[in-house]
Amino acid sequence: MSHPVPPAGKGPDPVQWRPEVPLVPAVLAPVFALSGVTALVGAQVLPWVSVRTGGMFPGLAPATVGVWYLHDLSGAAIPLHVGWAGLVGLIVAAWARPSWRRYAFRAAVGLSLVLVFLICDLGQAAIEDGGYDRGAYPDASLQAGALLGMFGTAVLVLSVAALARSTGHRQVAVPPPPDVPGQAPPAPPTVPVPTPQTAAPPAPTPQTAATPGAAAPPPARETAAPPAAGGAGWSARPVWVPWWRRRGPRTAAIAGAVVTAVLLATTVWMVAHRPAPPPWRTATLDELIIEPTGVGAPVTPPDIAEQLDLRDVDAASVLFGLTGVRQSVGRGWTESDGTFVTTMLLRFGSPESAEWFATTCRQHLLRQVGQSGAADLPDLGGASAFTSTTAGAGGVARVRIVAHRGDVVVLVTETASTAVSAGHAHRYARDQYHRL
């Protein structure tokens, strides 16, 4: 961008002559600020972190442990929101105080590096929040929300950089000389204006007029015009106006204050109204499983392969699904009527893996008992009960209920030497489901 050149023959005043302020960076600064705030607001509704753990066959069936949004990680979200509010505050300060812009840019760069480090560290915060076993080698990766948060942070820094690039120098007005009492203010001297043909002769002085015949003195060196009586010197720029008297900076300051207040209020509201996580996400299976209520002493339940009859070729899909189990716990006891009840909880890597395994178990048990022995339990989130009876004098009746909630699969089995009504299994399955 070219700067205006002073007229020929008039040397620029070293105090009052200043280059123009670049216009493009000053216009881009509010555009960058608005784009950065919009990106940060949009990132709040996107997932930020996903955690995976490797199973027995990580290349074939990686288990997604869970997905976290920023409001799920309140401990790490508060420093991020405070840092973003600080960036917006630096933009407002740089706009209001041009002399602070270079310092504000350096502070914005340092603050952005801290914010990027905090965003990259969200994976460890998600692993700690989920309570995952370090021995399972959980792997955390950033999602779209984190990338959009980094983009918004970078755009806010660009806004401060644009303001720093547009920093100019204000025009300095030369004050008029003080008036002396009893004397009239001196009139401004006349300056000869040269023409291309002939130069104007210098004005006679009292010395030359008093000495006739004397040699004419050499012409005086031309200088720039002295400041006018009003105090404003020669300059290509208009008189500087304070920022609080200009509509643009005043509007930007008010808008920045409003955006900062909205961000702080949103952060406080999200922290205060953050819903409590479900028990299946935070508690261990030992804390979730129901306590035995029978008359007999608690015993270790049979193996899951025996409970689900995983002895045929059709059970291969169920066996493959068991490779994704991260934790399991079971209880068994005998009721007063001689019925043996077992409850088993299986925790998988993600709710999707748990739902797939529960569906596979239902299909496997349906092939064993047939359609007549299957019944749906809508009050337990789509659970199903399967009843089977072994033929012969020593036949055994068994009811198996399969349900899932979150990343936990519930398997309740009721076994008796006579026909069972499935009352015990339904009651315990309902209690166990609502406890998750």
Block means of pLDDT (10 residues each) for the chain, 436 residues, are: 49 44 65 89 88 51 64 85 92 87 90 92 82 69 89 92 70 50 59 53 53 56 50 60 75 81 81 74 81 68 73 69 82 82 87 86 85 82 80 68 88 78 77 84
Q: In the prediction, which pLDDT does 173 show?
A: 45
Q: Say what the pTM is.
A: 0.45
pLDDT at 254: 83
pLDDT for the residue numbered 189? 57
What is the model's pLDDT at position 154? 93
What pLDDT, on the 0 to 100 scale, is given for residue 62?
41
Closest CA to 424 of 342, 304, 309, 368: 342
Which pLDDT does position 14 carry in this prediction? 45
- φ, ψ at 268 (rounded to 5°): -65, -40
What's the pLDDT score for residue 153? 93
Per-state percent for the chain, helix, strand, coil, to nearest 5:
45, 15, 40
Of the candidates 176, 174, 145, the residue with the CA atom closest to the CA atom of residue 68? 145
Kindly list the structural domains of the chain, giving each domain's residue range(s) and its CATH number in brackets, ordered by start: 23-169+242-275 (no CATH), 282-435 (3.40.1000.70)
Q: What is the pLDDT, as a whole number, of residue 418?
A: 67
Contacts for 59 with CB less than 8 Å, ≥ 6 apart: none
